[in-house]
Amino acid sequence: MGEYQYVKVSVEERIAILTIDHPPANAFDTRTVMDLNAAFDEVLANPEVKAIIITGAGQFAFVAGADINEINALKGHDDAKEVVVKGQQLFSKIEASPKPVIAAINAVCLGGGNELAMACHIRIASDRARFGQPEINLGIIPGWGGTQRLPRYVGKGKAFELLFTGDMITAQEAARIGLVNKVVPAGDVIKEAKGLAKKIVSKSALPLAAIIDAVNKGLEMDLQDALLYEAEHFAKLCETHDMREGVAAFLQKRQAKFEDR
């Protein structure tokens, strides 16, 4: 496994854990974004990895947002756009990953951190976590997908409220509005995320990837085109070894032994 300055990588039981470790607040500066991008590419290419967990080191923050000093140093339109496009490309890669990605949100999750979490497929949060898009307080807007993914999760009205005010919300409120999937006691976030990941990796990788693709692309289509896209995935999966194994296991009342083919 590669060595990165601000991201730690571990793999166990076919689950990769990427830990952002940039004290004190795990701020997303250029180096951290580059490290996460490289580490994500590494585990994405690793055939032994079937699911990925992204979390933050320490008790203070999952990711507390972009590095304000770097924002202050931006030299103009082109410089600023280059920075946000790189972040958008990384988060789009995570969102489109054929391997399920779980955000294990251990603490404060603001700005770019919240945008990272929203790019993941599932979000598990500590009951001490706080969420928000505070960019409005700096005279800017989110640049890594916050204005686009947030309304898709929580609805247009609630997204406008959070984006307009820059207010933080609790993990419990984030779960209530659909921003996170589950809230667990502080200290149990990784345990919960690993438990969910273990359940996921017991499934065939082929339908997992198909589900991610069908959901992501289907949401950008009208319903009839999306249904046809779903049908095509279904038909392709019906030609696979794992489909035959899954059906046989069900009929024989035994545990399926998937081979990801």
Strands 108-110 and 130-132: parallel
Sign, CA dihedral 29-129-89-97, equals positive
Per the CB < 8 A criterion, the answer to whether 153 and 163 are in contact is no
> Residues for the chain: how many in total?
261
Residue 80: Cβ-neighbour burial (10 angstroms; 0-12, 13-18, 19+) = middle
- Residue position matching structure tokens 């585990």: 43
Q: Enumerate the active-site residues.
A: 115, 135
Q: Which residues pair with 104 in a beta bridge?
A: 55, 124
Report the 10 Å Cβ neighbour count for 142.
24
Per the CB < 8 A criterion, the answer to whether 196 and 102 are in contact is yes
